[in-house]
Structure 1
């Protein structure tokens, strides 16, 4: 719950998001590479694990490739994380008034998180799509603007929103898990008596929340990556087009475990990353609250 104007929520979310992406981005690159890989195990050049992916990318493409496409997420992180937290605060106020609920409530936290995730999705889709196209091993794009220019020219303006449906599912599920678990874990942790204990609690709650959200939404993330990496050709129905049929296709052709491709780098990023997000966001909001009220 926030008593601060929207601009402070926006700035706090932006700082938190950029802090997290700078720390964790290489894991996102590896996660995407593994998710896009359809080759059978043992195929020459195929990634066999997270560490194998890191080793092969660095050896064959250079360390810089681990930051390939970071400009799109950096540009995205400010609005994305700002919308995530500010929408969560705003929807929280709306639902508390609607249902006449006072104080924290886990069911309300899940509903609020899901709605905030849906709101966030409309902001992030074009940035996510550009990032996926740049991270793809087969990518020949020279940068984000090149992706946008060629997609609009070859696939149409609305192609920038390819994968919106899958992105909605991904963000609804992750945010519902993240904010719902944060609410519950915070209520179970000991009351804080110092700033250090407050940071500890936020780091624990955010990490558990991020891990839970990742466990729940990874299948949606896998099919979102597949959908967004596929160029649209007029008259041709893409193999991966809609979320639930794509989930079925991946599970049928590659096995259920394929829906969790890239899970380890993803959870290593978004588990601790969820803790970083919550700690930095809370610290920024505390700073702005003191500034605003002084």
Structure 2
């Protein structure tokens, strides 16, 4: 016999953490063929964002240029860090969102999540997540630069630590912080709103469809909001520090103004197409797998969790 939803005991932190990890691995495995067929989102998206000036090759043009000039193998550079990053990244995202949601409800004395609280919770979860992903993102960006001469991920780590010390692996922390704050705020805030607008699901398949639809809309909106921050993050992390020289791209919001002033508004959305092709439906898969995994945990633990 199941416990009424309002009386169910919240699942432990480890359950949400594990569900997020499983969802992250599922999402990257599901969309890896899309990364290949639709031009490996990570490489092409980053190349577009690192490209300076108003003229750009676009998604297909960049794909063709990379293959022509550097070979097909170049499309797979930087793949290891995202694979290693996905499980802890997504695990942190959903576990942090659950933790901060409970915390804010306790602080406000509320018993039910609201639109404003869901956005705040998502933003805070994004801030938490950013601390986990920065070193992985830095390695990926350095490998994907056209002028990269690194032998591989560990060579990037070795050279950065040698030149800048361990804290050098956190270059671009501030920019990564804002990228994740706004994506997660848009993602989780949109999920709350879409779920409120959808009719009540009458079956398990209906619930699955609602989760996928909510997550997909959340992924799309989060991507629209955070792409400009992703553009400047890529440029900041690809900038090598020179003693006595202030980098052109140093802090997030001034960098946004610089890109807009020099290259126009469209430059802030370089790489948007491959990014949204991945993170739109990818957000749906994430939420679908997380919710399905949490149901399994509840059933395994039994009352009062189920």
1:11 matches 2:18: yes
Q: What are the equivalent positions in structure 2 for 1:33-112 lying under 5 Å apart?
A: 33-41=47-55, 48-112=57-121
Structure-1-length-normalised TM-score = 0.93
The match for 1:279 among 288, 291, 298 is 288
3-state SS, counterpart of residue 124 of structure 2: helix
- Contact between 1:28 and 1:269, CA under 8 Å: does it hold in 2? no
3-state SS, counterpart of residue 235 of structure 1: coil
Number of aligned positions between the proteins: 289
**Structure 1 vs Structure 2 CA RMSD:** 1.7
1:120 matches 2:134: no
3-state SS, counterpart of residue 142 of structure 1: coil
Structure-2-length-normalised TM-score = 0.90
Aligned to 1:151: 160
Q: Tell me, which stretches of 5 or more residues in structure 2 are unaligned?
A: 1-7
Q: After the TM superposition, which of the residue ranges 54-63 and 69-78 deviates more from structure 2? A: 54-63
Q: What are the equivalent positions in structure 2 for 1:180-191 lying under 5 Å apart?
A: 180-191=189-200
- Using the TM superposition, give the Cα deviation of residue 254 of structure 1 relative to its aligned residue in structure 2, in angstroms: 0.9
Q: Tell me, which stretches of 5 or more residues in structure 1 are unaligned?
A: 42-46
Question: Residues 232-253 of structure 1, C-alpha deviation per residue, up to 9 Å, x if partnerless?
Answer: 1222211111111111111111
- Using the TM superposition, give the Cα deviation of residue 131 of structure 1 relative to its aligned residue in structure 2, in angstroms: 0.9
CA distance in 2, matches of 1:68, 1:277: 24
3-state SS, counterpart of residue 102 of structure 1: coil
CA distance in 2, matches of 1:273, 1:219: 19
